[in-house]
């Protein structure tokens, strides 16, 4: 009997020519664009990127 390993694919997106994947949320200082910050917040659940909980991540990038 063969056992199939289930591999859950992480959401990913190409932003500014780079593949961004859910995994480690990291810090706003490591994020290159507002689009990347929104992807990580909304698709990956990286709520730590929205310190004041107003729905806008990394406010230094997304003003």
pLDDT digits (tens, 9 = 90+) for 15-45: 999 999 999 899 999 999 999 999 999 999 9
pTM for this one? 0.82
pLDDT band at 5 (very low <50, low <70, confident <90, very high): low
Please tell me the distance from the alpha carbon of residue 34 to that of residue 38, in angstroms, as a whole number.
6
Phi/psi at 44 (5° precision): -110, -5
């Amino acid at each position: 009997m063969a056992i199939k390993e289930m591999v859950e694919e992480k959401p990913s997106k190409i932003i500014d020519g780079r593949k961004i994947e859910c995994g480690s949320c990291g810090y706003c200082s490591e994020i290159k664009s507002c689009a990347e910050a929104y992807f990580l917040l909304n698709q990956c659940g990286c709520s730590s990127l929205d310190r004041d909980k107003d729905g806008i991540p990394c406010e230094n990038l997304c003003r």
